[in-house]
Amino acid sequence: MTDIVMYDVIILGSGPAGLTAALYTARANKNTLVLGGDRLGGQMAGIAKLENYPGWAGSGMELAEFMKKQCETFGATVKFVSAKNISGDAESGFNILCDDGKHYVGKTVIISTGASPRRLEIDGAREFMGKGVSYCATCDGFFYSYKDVIVMGGGNSALNDALYLADLAKSVKIVYRKSAFTRAEAVLRERVSQRENIECLFNTDLVKIAAKPGDSDGRLVVTTTDGTEIETDGLFVAIGHEANTDYLTEEIKRDNMGRLSPSALPAGLFVAGDVHSDIKMQIATAVGTGCEAAMDAIAYLNKQ
């Protein structure tokens, strides 16, 4: 491990939180490295038309590219590798082993590796992923224009997906295992109830996904817990998210979704974005926590 550069700040993740943090730390003349994972932008990159981030009217990927160039302008380095584990501490330096086999060492680390959609674990879910099963309505909804789709889930994400798809698809069925959308905001429940092409199937869960026999159009047949079979062109899964923190040691405390609380982190470690334990999962809030984590890291470094 000779000739390893000691960075002031290493940022894990290249979504809106990580890139915002990099902008702030680089502008503060801190030697900043972004380990951006396997793709730029995180979940933001999959948004075809970004409508709810102030001041931006393009796609999520376009915003990610702009943010990357902006932090690089101030000297940040972005590498597209993923952390496999973190060892060490603030005193000796945090040693990050990545999937490229290289080690990177930082005086501070900002964890902003985001969250991923929780995968559906039933027969056929893996087999038909990308072939009728999707975890991103805004990414894939266009392919189901004037077709029949199912949304699985009952939270805000599921209802937002259903409303988005209702503008494209012929029909949308929401399948939810409980008797009401108790986790979703009232405004979304009201909007769903007003859409004529949305049908809600409560107290219903799925147990199997299969291809429709003899069908050449790629239609699926989903089976519910009571044995009912429903034909559909696509199944959109929105059953929650899990933080991308599997690479962290057990000593770093996480909640039941794998998220991190800033107050529970060792000195020199900071958290931002969807991996944060107390955040609404929006680009605007991710940017805010990225700013906060960066400013905390800068203040910490300036005291050393």
Q: Which of 8, 71, 98, 140 is catalytic?
A: 140
Residues 252, 255: Cα–Cα separation, whole Å: 10
CB 290 within 8 A of CB 17: yes
Residue 140 catalytic? Answer: yes
Cα 204 to its chain centre, rounded Å, is 26
Q: Examine the residue annotation and report whether 139 is marked as an active-site residue of this protein.
A: yes
Q: What's at 169, amino acid-wise?
A: A
Cα separation, 3 vs 130, whole angstroms: 44
Helices (H) and strands (E) counted in the chain, each on its own, are: 6, 17
Could you confirm whether 200 is annotated as catalytic?
A: no
The H-or-E segment that residue 198 falls in is strand 198-201
Query: Cα(236)–Cα(218) distance, rounded to whole angstroms?
Result: 15
> Quick one: angle between helices 186-194 and 156-166, nearest 10?
30
**Nearest to residue 81, comparing CAs of 25, 139, 14?**
14
The letter for the amino acid at 211 is: A
CA distance 17 to 272: 6
Catalytic positions: 136, 139-140
